[in-house]
Amino acid sequence: MRPTRTQTIIAVAWVLFWLLMTTTAVQEYLRDNDHGVWKPILWETSSAFTGSVLLILQRYFTRRHDHLISSPLRWFSRQLVWLPIYWVAFVPIAFGIRHVVYRLAGETYAHHAWPQVYLYEDVKMTVFFFIFASITFGVLSYHAMMNEKLRVERVNASLREAQLLRLTQQLQPHFLFNALNTISSLMHSDVARADAMLIQLADVLRATLDVGEQHQVPLELELRLLRGYAALMSERFSDRVHIAWQIDDSLLACPVPVMSMQPLLENIFKHTVERRRQSTAIHISVSREQGVIVVRLEDDAGVLPGADVKTEGASGIGVRNLRQRLAGLYGERASFNLIQLAPAGVRAEMRLPCRLPYAS
């Protein structure tokens, strides 16, 4: 079924076509006659009525062949079956209407001999038939193209959705594996701290249940996950890490990729805190700059080996995963960078489109 808008456009075009035909016939008639203007109107409206009926019947009985639109020759061959019906039916119906109306008006409808009438009208209807068959083919082809485009977009959206889901779910066992390893390292040396970490882990896992299969969550929920993980790791490195938070509360409802901040904090613990005996200061901030959300996690001791920080950052599963998810969710509207600070320290900076209006 064609969309209603297209059907309306075709109907309007059909009416305007026959209005043009009728107007032209009336003007030609008035050049030689000064009365009886109803006659050219009757001629054209009877043709319009007959042609419309035949076209509607043709469309009704041939629409089952619309699936052949990708094979024009096969589709047109199904339409050609109706051309002889036009040849046979048009003249009796259209001229029959004219004869009846003329008789009711007390006049006689005069025309050329029937063979000549049939020849002229059938040639005219053949031209009309191919014009309107071509128009129908064009409209059907356009909608087939749009439907295929929509189908491809839906398939791509489904693939992107599946990829994002796979990437998101990939983080969960990765995070759980690291957390359990941390607890396992304390089980024989400090049972009380191991027990406290299990409680923290349970809180984090409850938070992950809240996000389900979502790809984006409010910043407030993402921070809940991050604070749970930070508490879990701070319990392990209680004398070697200090975390400072600076969060713009007006952004708490902004959507951000789920578990996008946790891998960044995990990298700091893995590459900096675990490798140092001294205390490490970590600063976590979320702010708004020039209409985008800026998320920063930085430490005061990390060092990126080599000059190509993007290659270094892509080596970890968490950061590589995050880059792929940002590309899938936002395209070029989001960015992620690892920046070497002076004299020491590494900043992970993520910029995301902000969908909330500025506060008045």
Question: What is the extent of the structural domain holding 299?
Answer: 240-353
The DSSP secondary-structure symbol of 185 reads H
- For residue 59, give the H/E element and its range: helix 38-62
CA torsion 46-47-51-52 (nearest 10°) is: -40
Same domain for 145 and 265, yes or no, is no
Least confident of 108-117, 227-236, 262-271: 227-236
Nearest to 181 by CA among 166, 201, 199, 167: 201
Same domain for 10 and 107, yes or no, is yes
In a domain, 217, yes or no: no
In a domain, 104, yes or no: yes
CATH of the domain at 250: 3.30.565.10
Neighbours of 1 (CB within 10 A): 8
pTM of this prediction exceeds 0.85:
no
pLDDT digits (tens, 9 = 90+) for 22-55: 888 888 888 877 778 899 999 999 999 999 999 9
Locate tokens 């409680």: which residue?
A: 199
Average pLDDT, the chain: 82
The reported pLDDT for the residue numbered 31 is 84
In a domain, 91, yes or no: yes
Asked whether residue 318 carries a pLDDT value surpassing 80, the answer given is: no
Q: How confident is the model at residue 99 (pLDDT cuts 50, 70, 90)?
A: very high
Mean pLDDT of 143-165: 68
Percent of the chain with pLDDT over 90: 34
Ramachandran assignment for 259, one of left (phi > 0), alpha (psi -120 to 50 degrees), beta (any other): left
Residues with Cβ within 8 Å of 211's Cβ and at least 6 positions away in sequence, in order, are 217, 221, 225, 258, 259
- Cα distances (angstroms) measured from residue 267 to each of 30, 131, 184, 210, 258: 90, 68, 20, 24, 17
Neighbours of 66 (CB within 10 A): 16
In a domain, 160, yes or no: no
**Whole-angstrom distance, CA of residue 314 vs CA of residue 327:** 14
Of 154, 179, 211, the last residue of a domain is: 154
Mean pLDDT of 287-303: 91
**Whole-angstrom distance, CA of residue 290 vs CA of residue 35:** 76
Same domain for 150 and 245, yes or no, is no
For the stretch 233-237, contacts whose Cβ atoms lie closer than 8 Å and that sit 24 or more positions apart, written own/partner, are 233/182, 233/265, 233/269, 233/273, 235/193, 235/196, 235/197, 235/200, 236/182, 236/185, 236/186, 236/193, 236/197, 237/269, 237/273, 237/274
Mean pLDDT is highest, among 57-71, 143-157, 201-215, 303-317, for 57-71
Nearest to 165 by CA among 334, 335, 325: 325
Q: How confident is the model at residue 310 (pLDDT cuts 50, 70, 90)?
A: very low
Neighbours of 311 (CB within 10 A): 11
**Whole-angstrom distance, CA of residue 254 vs CA of residue 319:** 21
Nearest to 224 by CA among 250, 255, 203: 203
In a domain, 229, yes or no: no
Mean pLDDT of 139-157: 78
pLDDT digits (tens, 9 = 90+) for 214-251: 778 899 988 988 888 888 788 778 788 999 999 999 99
Same domain for 13 and 140, yes or no, is yes
Of 154, 185, 220, the last residue of a domain is: 154
Of 135, 154, 173, the last residue of a domain is: 154
Same domain for 9 and 146, yes or no, is yes
